[in-house]
Amino acid sequence: MTDTVIEPGERTVEELLAGLNNGERFVVRTEVLGSLEELTLRFDGEIYYCDSPTILHKHTDETEMRECIENLGFAGKSD
């Protein structure tokens, strides 16, 4: 499976969730304390994941994943 690499704010939370629900995986590239970090957003059909080499967030439903994406600042504003 190919990951879609994005920058924070490039997609709305609705676009990210729709993609996840359709089997897409997103790699969000962001700078944290001066170094580049990549976080992967994915959905296995039951659990949503937001993970990096140092953290793993698991979410049991779309509402929790929406909050995580918004709290981490990964989503752009909806029009």
Q: Is residue 26 part of a domain?
A: yes
pLDDT in tens, 8-22: 999 999 999 999 999
Residue 78 lies in a domain: no
Confidence of residue 40 (pLDDT cuts 50, 70, 90): very high
Whether residue 79 is contained in a domain is answered as: no
Per the CB < 8 A criterion, the answer to whether 19 and 41 are in contact is no
> What pTM value is reported for the model?
0.87
33 assigned to some structural domain: yes
For residue 32, the cross-strand partners are 35
Average pLDDT in the 38-49 region? 95
Residues 6+ apart with CB under 8 A from 7: 28, 29, 30
- The bridge status of strand 3-6 relative to strand 25-32 is parallel
Structural domain boundaries, residue 43: 3-71
Q: Is residue 23 part of a domain?
A: yes
**How far apart (Å, rounded) are the C-alpha atoms in residues 34 and 64?**
28
Is the predicted pLDDT of residue 79 greater than 60, yes or no? no
The helix-helix angle for 62-71 and 13-21 (nearest 10°) equals 140
**What average pLDDT does this structure show over 25-32?**
88
Into how many domains does the chain fold? 1
Give the mean pLDDT of the chain: 89
